[in-house]
Structures are given as C-alpha cells and as structure tokens.
C-alpha cells in the first residue's frame, strides 16, 4: 500500500504563529502591568501615613495628628517634649528629601549626592560658612532652645530610621542612589542661616559699584549708584518714629526677595477688629519653601508656616496675636578689600601689622569622584569669598562681614513669639531675632496694631560708607556698634489706621541711623496704601483681593510720560498701534491683555540699550536695577542730564528704538495681530521640582501639570517675578495669609503648590490653581477635623 504524505496548510501555520504572538504579547503585557504595579506600589509605600497608629521612640505620652482636607497637620500633644518630637517626625514624612537637600545646599555638601556639577556651589557655601555660623550659634542657645532642637531631631531621625528599615524612603533617594544621613541640631540651625542668606544681602551691589568706578568715569559710574526716588512714601513718615572674575561662581539670591504685609486697625474694618495680611516673596518651586502646620500643647497653640527642617512656627498666629514679615533690605553685609602678605598667603594687614587668618579645612566629597582638598581663610572681618574662584583671585581679595555669620538665636525668638499674648511679650521675643532683619507687622486680639524693623543693623558713619568695599587694613572702617534695639524703627497704633510694608524705604531724613541704600521700587507699597486709604469697612475678602491686585503703578507713571515724549515722532505703524493700546490700558497686568506684554518688553529693551556696555557677568550683581532705570528716565524726562541716556542718543531715541525692538520681537514670537497678544501666553507659573530637569520622564512625574498663566508682575501687589528669557514665573508670594482678629483662631492661607513633597499625594500640587486664582483655604487652630493618626510611645 502506497504511503501518503501530508503537508500542513499555510493558513494553519499562520494561525499558529498568530496564537504564539498573541500569547507573547499577553505575557509582555502581564509583565509590564506587573512591573508598573510594583513600581507604583514601591513609590506609594513612601507616601506619608496620616491614619492609624505608629509607635514613636522617646515619646512620653500619646500624640494626635489630624490631617485636614488641605493636608495641614494639626499636632496635639500633652507637653512640649512630645510636641517637637512629633513635629520632626511629621515634617520628615512630608518633606524629608527637601530637608536633606536644604541642609546640603547650605552646608556645601551637595557634591556628595549630586556629583561634580555641584562643586562650585559647595565651594561657595563652604567659603561663606553658614554651617560654621550655625555651630557658633548653637553654643549661645539656652537649655530650652537646645532641648527643642534635640527633640525635633529625634523625631526626624525616628522617621529616617523607619523609612530605611521599611524600604519607604522618598523615590528621589532611589534615583540618586543615596540614603539620608542622621539629622542633627546643627542641620536645623544651618537651614535657618540659609534663609538669612536668601533674604538679606547687599554685598553684590557693593561689588557692582566697585566695578563701575573702575570701568567708567566717576560721573558716569555714580549715576548708577542706588538712590530712592524723591517724594516717594516711606513706611514711617517724619515725626512718626516712637567685580568681574573674582566672584565668578558666587551664588546670588534673587534680588526680588521681598514681600508685602500690612495690618489694619479695627477702626477701618467691618468686624471692628484688626486685619493682618502677609505674603513673603521667595522662590517658587516644588515643594513649597513653607510647610503649614498647627502645634498645640499645654503651653502653646499656634498655627502658620515654618521652613521644612526647623521646629516651631515662624509666621502665623495663636489665639491672641498674629504677625507677618517682609524683608527690610538693611546694609548688614560689608565687603572688605584685604592686603595679603606676599610672603605668607595666610596673613593680612591691619593697622600696619600682619594678622594671621583663621584656616578652615573644608574637604569636599564628590560622588563618583575624588575628595577635593579645600581651604577657607577667615580674616578679622569674615571669610574670604573671592578665594573660591581660585586663580582669578590671586591679586584681589575680598572678605565678607555679615551679621548672619555671627552667633544668633532666631529659634529662641520663634519659641517666645509662638507663646506671646500681646504686643509687649511679642516685642520682647523679637530681642532674640537677630537675622535676617525683617519688617514685622503685628495684630492683637486687644486691638493693637504695630510694626518694628527688627534685627541687628550696623551703625555706619555715613550712608556712603555702605556703597563700596572698604579698606580692611584701616581700623576706622570697622563696624563699631549696632542700632540699639529700643531705637529700631517702630510704630504702634498710628492715627492713619494702618501700617504697610513692601520692601520700600523705611524712614525719612529724620531717622537718626542709616539703614540701607537699596530699596524695592515703591510701586507695590504705593498701591497697597492707595487701597487701604480709600475705605473704612475692610473684610478678609478685601485683603485677599489686595494680595491678588495686579495694578501696575510703574506703567501708570511712565506710559503717559513716554507717550508725551514720542508725540510727534515719526513712528512705524506697529509702534503707533502699540502706543494706542497702552493709552487705552487700565494698567492692570492681566493675563488676557496685550498691554502688559508690550510694556514689560519695552522696559526690557530700554535696559538692554542703557546697559549695553556692562557685561552679562556683572549684570547679576546689579541688584535692584529697575529702581536705577526709573531714576535715569525720570531725570531725562525732567530735562536733567543722564549720561547713560545721552550716550545712547537721548531719551527720544532710546524710547523709540526700544519700542521698535520690543514690538518686532513680539510679532516674531506671537503674530502680527497685536490685539491677539496675551500676557498669559508668556507669563506662566509651574513650580518645578529640583529633579524634573534631569530627564523628560522625571519631568512628567514631578511636573505633569501644564504651566498656568498668571496675572501680576514684579511691581504689582500680586507679586510674580519671572525669567525674561522664558516668562517663567519663578518668584513671588510663597505663602499668602490673611486673618481677622475678630476670630483669631481662624486663618486663611495659600501654600503653593501644596503641602506634600510626594508626587503621588493628593496635596502635592493641589494649590497651584489656587495660587494663580487667589483661592484661600480656611484653617482653624481649634477643633480640627480630618484624618487621624495616633503616635504612641514605643516600648524600648
């Protein structure tokens, strides 16, 4: 019988491969889903616990933590011992990576976890010596202050140990391949010193003035020296008083580091009690620089905000008082030129003799690299901050005298303020608040409103002495004393019924002491006082609206003046259209308007023309240059000679050329249709996470929300300073706060972008839109409602 052979059908073979392929795809999908679930469960593991019971070492009694609907922790303890342990633990749950990064930034140890990209940053902060200053400060603290620092550190370390043991460290540590080191008392004090760095300084303007005198004629240089505009308001009315190369890697704080605050007497409010408002202007990022908390024990009941990594509440209210701050901009930093001994680089001249500098060994560990041997020299004035630039600083040496590098006791002041009951006890607490010098406004349940520019301010013989680096080899230029505490600027219950500050000039000629040469432009303050003078029935909602006010008084001053100068000038059609739009503007920097885009771009081009001779490397030292530009323009408009204007063809040419450049650039970027331009197409806020620029995937997770168009600018009460290159709003109201002392247990807050540092938390970016739109949340320091966590003493 003949054997038959059979062959498989091509159709059947194809179906089999389809089935194999389908099974393979399903397996890949299952594996992918499994990996995805594993990654997300791993990430979610590090979310803060806000419910249940946790055993916490060192506690004496149980502590209750209620997290309200906005992610605000309300910590209630039977005693202060347990309160500060719990505060450290909760802060670490919310913001451990931020706390770690902050102490490393301030201590100059970022290179240990980031690598060689942070070496210059570390060198600068090692030279500056914030951590050395924190160590000096620790030695001056009382037993109570040291105990609070130690208890807080115990709470932080309890969470660090728990997170390492349970494998639930924030994802950022996994990405960097590191673990956090133990928290110390000095870490908290170093973060406090960093905030003094971020908020107070004038040495960069001294360096810039020195550069001007060495590059230009005296007359031309002096025209750019700082001057406050004449006839502009000060906080206290008269009679109301009761260097290119050598600094190339310097870290310069944002020169817009300011704030708004005000307090209104009950005579001008609907409730008959004082209203207080505060919005400190700092960098805008994820997480927020502030963490809102409520602390309650037998001795204290206080709510508000604190820097992550520090115990207590630095700004806020208790059941009797409320307070807020703005930066006072005092001259508390002084550059000194030092004469070095050519035969011994560690010696510097003083009064004809060589003095040996202190030598600080500051080895810098570098991730995946060799440890760098770094040495810091400290003269009688302070650290040599030009030395870190290495070869470029061989011949010119600058040291820095700065009040924040002295031993200071801000935490002691915070603890006293948190417990204060009235103006007298509050002001007593301020005696310990030395740096940074701040404008404090105060409201009491008893109806008192008050103000004090508080901190350690050196006495200068003349204001000119603070304009330039001083000879460090002559005793006559030494700081000899400080303004006495009882003679610092102070106002209590003024007749006009309110007190406001916005980093503007504090006092007129009648004040006995020099405070500063550099102030913020007066426009925010003028607008705030304009509103507060207008009515006598203010409410919380009115104060919130004023914090969101986008009225641009710089535009209101200069647009009509510019229009007059250009009347009759042969302008192009685009320039004519731009001027016509500006003439019909209500001067509000609103997102839907083209005028703010035209106006701010015009001023950017004016700056580019006027300061074309100044290299970009020196422009960042030209702090508060908007004030200088305004003064140059005012001089020219009033018929006075301005060298910087005249050398660029005169006022008419400067305005015409800059306007043409502005509208051309805007047309190229947006469209020829000028009326379709929108301020919000350029002026947007995002709140970037520090790792979001490492890779697009990280950016997706850490900053997945789209940038939000926002009103305002650097000169409006709705403070929103931005990067000129991109329009990215990176600086503004880091916290907004309003309170009516009719109900002192209730405060109204915005902490953008949110409370949590974990991107999977519902409170990570939930206040971004609130920040842009002015939606406040209501927080009580009594009878809090929310999810409850119990911290119990662990059995050791």
Of the given ranges (270-274, 466-470, 524-528, 774-778), which has the lowest mean pLDDT?
466-470
Q: Yes or no: say if 746 and 734 are a contact pair by the CB < 8 Å rule.
A: no
User: Which pair of tokens denotes residue 764?
Assistant: 């990570």
Q: Yes or no: say if 303 and 747 are a contact pair by the CB < 8 Å rule.
A: yes
Confidence of residue 19 (pLDDT cuts 50, 70, 90): low
Mean pLDDT of 637-651: 96
Q: Which of 398, 387, 396 is nearest to 362 (CA)?
A: 387
Mean pLDDT of 35-45: 62
| pLDDT value for 310 | 98
Helix (H, G, I), strand (E, B) or coil at 423: helix
Q: How far apart (Å, rounded) are the C-alpha atoms in residues 770 and 748?
A: 12
Q: How many CB atoms lie within 10 A of CB 581?
A: 18
Q: What is the DSSP string of 736-772?
A: EEEEETTSTTEEEEE-SS-S-S-TTSTTSSTTHHHHH
| 249-252 contacts, C-beta under 8 A, 24 or more apart | 249/120, 249/121, 249/123, 249/124, 249/388, 249/389, 250/124, 250/204, 250/385, 251/121, 251/124, 251/125, 252/204, 252/620, 252/621, 252/623
- Does the annotation list 278 as a binding residue? no
Confidence of residue 25 (pLDDT cuts 50, 70, 90): low
| Residue listed under structure tokens 């749950």 | 93
Q: 709 CB contacts (<8 Å, ≥6 apart)?
A: 591, 678, 679, 680, 681, 683, 684, 772
pLDDT at 781 over 70: yes
Sign of CA dihedral 159, 160, 161, 163: positive
Q: How far apart (Å, rounded) are the C-alpha atoms in residues 534 and 546?
A: 12
pLDDT at 543 over 80: yes
| E strand or H helix that includes residue 66 | strand 63-67
Q: How far apart (Å, rounded) are the C-alpha atoms in residues 465 and 458?
A: 11
Q: Yes or no: say if 452 and 242 are a contact pair by the CB < 8 Å rule.
A: no
Average pLDDT, whole number, for the chain? 91
pLDDT digits (tens, 9 = 90+) for 228-237: 666 666 666 6
Confidence of residue 766 (pLDDT cuts 50, 70, 90): very high
| pLDDT value for 363 | 96
pLDDT digits (tens, 9 = 90+) for 365-382: 999 999 999 999 999 999
pLDDT at 293 over 50: yes
Of the given ranges (239-248, 390-399, 476-485, 763-772), which has the lowest mean pLDDT?
239-248
**Nearest 5°: phi and psi at 99?**
-60, -45
Delimit the domains of the chain by residue range: 553-587+594-677
Size of the chain, expressed as the number of residues it contains: 796
User: Which pair of tokens denotes residue 135?
Assistant: 């160590």
Superfamily of domain 553-587+594-677: Aminohydrolase, alpha-helical knob region (1.10.1400.10)
| pLDDT value for 727 | 96
User: Which pair of tokens denotes residue 105?
Assistant: 């930034």
Confidence of residue 31 (pLDDT cuts 50, 70, 90): low
Sign of CA dihedral 295, 299, 302, 307: negative
Q: Yes or no: say if 477 and 501 are a contact pair by the CB < 8 Å rule.
A: no
pLDDT at 131 over 50: yes
| pLDDT value for 617 | 85
pLDDT at 33 over 50: no
pLDDT at 9 over 90: no
Mean pLDDT of 109-114: 95
| pLDDT value for 257 | 56
Q: How many CB atoms lie within 10 A of CB 484?
A: 9
Q: What is the DSSP string of 274-316?
A: -EEEEEEEEE-BSS-SEEEEEEE-SS-EEEEEEETT--S-SEE
**Nearest 5°: phi and psi at 262?**
-160, 160
| pLDDT value for 710 | 98
Q: Which of 85, 95, 185, 25 is nearest to 764 (CA)?
A: 95
| Residue listed under structure tokens 């701040």 | 438
Q: 112 CB contacts (<8 Å, ≥6 apart)?
A: 104, 178, 365, 366, 367
User: To the nearest whole percent, how much of the chain has pLDDT over 90?
Assistant: 80
pLDDT digits (tens, 9 = 90+) for 493-536: 999 999 999 999 998 888 999 999 888 899 999 999 999 999 99
Show the CA angle centred on residue 286, arms to residues 280 and 287, nearest 5°. 75
pLDDT digits (tens, 9 = 90+) for 202-260: 788 888 899 999 999 999 999 998 876 666 666 666 444 334 444 555 565 555 557 99
Determine if the pTM surpasses 0.85: yes
Sign of CA dihedral 54, 59, 61, 67: negative
| pLDDT value for 16 | 66
Q: Which of 32, 2, 344, 404 is nearest to 196 (CA)?
A: 404
**Alpha helices, H only, 533-678:** 540-547, 553-566, 573-583, 595-610, 616-619, 625-637, 643-646, 651-669
Active site residues: 259
Q: 294 CB contacts (<8 Å, ≥6 apart)?
A: 72, 73, 74, 75, 302, 303, 779, 781, 784
User: Which pair of tokens denotes residue 416?
Assistant: 């006293």
Mean pLDDT of 637-644: 95
**Using the 8-state DSSP alphabet, how is residue 699 labeled?**
H
pLDDT at 551 over 90: yes
Sign of CA dihedral 762, 767, 768, 769: positive
CA 671 vs. chain centroid, Å, equals: 35
Q: How many CB atoms lie within 10 A of CB 373?
A: 9
Q: How many CB atoms lie within 10 A of CB 767?
A: 24
pLDDT digits (tens, 9 = 90+) for 650-706: 999 999 999 999 999 999 999 999 999 999 999 999 999 999 888 888 988 899 889
| pLDDT value for 246 | 47
Mean pLDDT of 406-411: 96
| pLDDT value for 353 | 97
Mean pLDDT of 25-50: 65
| Residue listed under structure tokens 């009460």 | 717
**Using the 8-state DSSP alphabet, how is residue 370 labeled?**
P
Show the CA angle centred on residue 259, arms to residues 256 and 261, nearest 5°. 160
Sign of CA dihedral 7, 10, 12, 15: positive
Of the given ranges (184-188, 271-275, 460-464, 726-730), which has the lowest mean pLDDT?
460-464
Q: Which of 302, 297, 304 is nearest to 419 (CA)?
A: 302
| pLDDT value for 84 | 98
| pLDDT value for 239 | 45
| pLDDT value for 62 | 98
Q: How far apart (Å, rounded) are the C-alpha atoms in residues 260 and 453?
A: 14
pLDDT at 782 over 60: yes
Q: Which of 666, 665, 684, 654 is nearest to 594 (CA)?
A: 666
| E strand or H helix that includes residue 721 | strand 720-722
Q: 419 CB contacts (<8 Å, ≥6 apart)?
A: 299, 300, 302, 318, 425
pLDDT at 90 over 50: yes
Q: How far apart (Å, rounded) are the C-alpha atoms in residues 282 and 256?
A: 8
| Residue listed under structure tokens 């019988």 | 1
Helix (H, G, I), strand (E, B) or coil at 218: helix
pLDDT digits (tens, 9 = 90+) for 59-83: 999 999 999 999 999 999 999 999 9
């Amino acid at each position: 019988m003949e054997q038959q052979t059979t062959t498989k059908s091509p159709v059947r073979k194809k179906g089999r491969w389809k089935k194999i392929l389908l099974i393979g795809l399903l397996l890949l999908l299952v594996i992918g889903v499994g990996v995805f679930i594993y990654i997300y469960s791993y990430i979610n593991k590090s979310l803060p616990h806000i419910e249940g019971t946790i055993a916490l070492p060192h506690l004496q009694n149980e502590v209750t933590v209620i997290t309200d609907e906005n992610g605000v922790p309300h910590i209630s303890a039977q005693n202060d011992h347990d309160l500060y342990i719990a505060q450290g633990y909760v802060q670490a749950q919310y913001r451990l990576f931020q706390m770690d990064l902050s102490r490393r930034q301030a201590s100059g140890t970022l290179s240990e976890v980031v690598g060689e990209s942070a070496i210059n940053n570390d060198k600068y902060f090692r030279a500056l010596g914030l951590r050395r200053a924190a160590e000096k400060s620790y030695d001056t603290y009382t037993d109570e202050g040291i105990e609070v620092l130690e208890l807080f550190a115990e709470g932080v370390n309890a969470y660090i140990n728990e997170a390492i043991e349970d494998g639930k460290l924030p994802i950022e540590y996994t990405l960097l391949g590191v673990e956090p080191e133990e928290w110390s008392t000095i870490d908290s004090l170093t973060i406090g010193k960093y905030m003094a760095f971020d908020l107070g300084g004038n040495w960069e303007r001294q360096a810039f003035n020195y550069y001007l005198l060495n590059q230009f004629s005296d007359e031309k240089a002096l025209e750019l020296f700082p001057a406050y505009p004449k006839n502009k308001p000060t906080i206290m009315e008269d009679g109301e008083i009761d260097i290119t190369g050598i600094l190339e890697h310097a870290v310069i704080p944002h020169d817009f580091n300011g704030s708004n605050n005000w307090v209104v007497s009950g005579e001008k409010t609907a409730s008959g009690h004082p209203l207080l408002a505060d919005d400190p202007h700092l960098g805008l990022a994820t997480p927020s620089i502030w963490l809102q908390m409520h602390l309650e024990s037998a001795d204290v009941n206080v709510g508000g905000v604190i820097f992550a990594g520090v115990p207590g509440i630095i700004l806020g209210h208790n059941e009797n008082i409320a307070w807020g701050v703005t930066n006072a901009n005092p001259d508390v930093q002084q550059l000194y030129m030092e004469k070095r001994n050519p035969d011994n680089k560690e010696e510097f001249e003083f009064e004809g003799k060589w003095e040996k500098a202190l030598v600080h060994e500051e080895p810098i560990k570098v991730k995946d690299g060799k440890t760098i041997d770094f040495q810091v020299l400290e003269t009688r004035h302070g650290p040599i901050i030009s030395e870190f630039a290495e070869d470029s600083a061989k011949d010119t040496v600058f040291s820095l005298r700065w009040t924040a590098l002295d031993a200071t006791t801000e935490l002691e002041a915070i603890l006293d303020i948190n417990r204060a009951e009235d103006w007298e006890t509050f002001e007593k607490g301020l005696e310990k608040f030395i740096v940074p010098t701040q404008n404090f406004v105060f409201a009491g349940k008893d109806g008192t409103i008050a103000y004090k520019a508080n901190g350690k301010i050196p006495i200068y013989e003349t204001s000119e002495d603070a304009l330039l680096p001083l000879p460090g080899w002559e005793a006559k230029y030494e700081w000899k004393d400080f303004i006495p505490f009882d003679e610092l600027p102070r106002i209590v219950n003024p007749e006009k019924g309110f007190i406001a500050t916005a980093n503007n000039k504090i006092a007129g000629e009648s004040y006995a002491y020099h405070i500063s040469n550099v102030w913020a432009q007066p426009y925010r303050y003028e607008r705030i006082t304009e509103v507060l003078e207008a009515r006598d029935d203010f409410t919380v909602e009115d104060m919130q609206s004023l914090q969101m006010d986008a009225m641009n008084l710089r535009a209101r001053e200069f647009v009509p003046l510019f229009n007059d100068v250009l009347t009759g000038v042969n302008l192009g059609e685009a320039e004519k259209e731009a001027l016509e739009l500006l003439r019909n503007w209500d001067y509000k920097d609103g997102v839907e308007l083209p005028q703010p885009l035209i106006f701010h771009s015009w001023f950017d081009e004016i700056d580019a023309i006027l300061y074309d001779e100044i290299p970009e490397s020196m422009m960042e030292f030209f702090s508060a240059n908007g004030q200088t530009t305004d003064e140059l323009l005012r001089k020219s408009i009033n018929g006075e000679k301005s060298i910087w204007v005249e050398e660029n063809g005169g006022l008419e040419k400067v305005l015409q050329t800059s306007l043409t450049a502005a509208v051309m650039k805007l047309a190229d970027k947006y469209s020829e249709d000028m009326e379709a331009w929108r301020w919000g197409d350029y002026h947007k806020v995002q709140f970037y996470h520090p790792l979001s620029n490492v890779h697009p995937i990280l950016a997706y997770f850490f900053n997945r929300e789209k940038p939000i168009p926002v009103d305002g600018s650097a000169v409006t009460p709705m403070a929103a300073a931005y990067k000129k290159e991109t329009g990215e709003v990176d600086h503004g109201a880091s916290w907004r706060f309003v309170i009516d002392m009719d109900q002192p247990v209730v405060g109204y807050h915005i902490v953008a972008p949110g409370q949590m540092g974990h991107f999977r938390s519902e409170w990570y970016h939930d206040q971004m839109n609130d920040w842009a739109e002015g939606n406040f949340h209501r927080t009580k320091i009594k009878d809090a409602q929310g999810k409850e966590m119990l911290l119990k003493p662990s059995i050791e």
